[in-house]
Copies of this chain bind each other. A is one copy, B any other.
Amino acid sequence: MDLRHLKSFLIVAEELNIGRAAMRLHISQPPLTRQIQQLEEELGATLLIRTNRGVELTEAGLLLVEEARNILALTEQAAERTHKAGQGKLGRIDVGIFGSGIFGVLPKILLAFREAYPEVNIVLHNMNKREQIDALRQRRLTVGFNRLLPDEPDIAVELIVKEKLYLAINSKQALSKKKEIPWAEIGNHPLVLFPSGARPSFIDWVLDLCRADGIKPWVAQEVGDAVNGVALVASGFGICIVPESATNMKLPGVVYRPLIRNPPPEVDLSCLYRASDDSPILHSFLAIARTFRD
- A70–B74 Cα distance when bound, in Å, is 8
State whether the Cβ of A152 lies closer than 8 Å to any Cβ in chain B: no
Stretch in A39-47, A143-151, A285-293 with 4+ CB within 8 Å of B: A39-47
Question: Are A59 and B43 in touch, CB under 8 angstroms?
Answer: no
- A64: chain B residues at CB < 8 Å are 78, 82, 85
Contact in complex: A82, B70 (CB < 8 Å) = no
Q: Shortest beta-carbon distance, A249 to chain B, in Å?
A: 35
Cβ-closest 7 pairs across A and B = A45-B86, A67-B78, A60-B85, A60-B86, A64-B82, A63-B85, A43-B82
Q: What is the total number of copies of this protein in its complex? A: 2
A90/B75 contact (C-beta < 8 A), A1-B3, A85-B45, A279-B58 known: no
Kindly report which residue of chain B lies nearest to residue A66, judged by CB atoms.
B78
A74: B residues at CB distance < 8 A: 67, 70-71, 74
- Taking CB atoms, residues of chain B closer than 8 Å to A75 are 1, 71
Q: Is the CB of B45 within 8 A of A60?
A: no
In the bound complex, CA of A281 to CA of B58 (Å): 11
- A251 near B: Cβ within 8 Å? no
In whole angstroms, how far apart are the Cα atoms of A64 and B3 in the complex?
A: 17
Q: Is the CB of A281 within 8 A of B2?
A: no
Closest CB of chain B to A112's CB: distance in Å?
Answer: 21
Complex: A92 Cα to B62 Cα, angstroms: 12
Interface string of A30-68 (1 = CB under 8 A from B): 000000000000111111000000000011100110011
Q: Does A83 contact B (CB under 8 A)?
A: yes
Q: How far apart are A282's CB and chain B's nearest CB, in angstroms?
A: 10
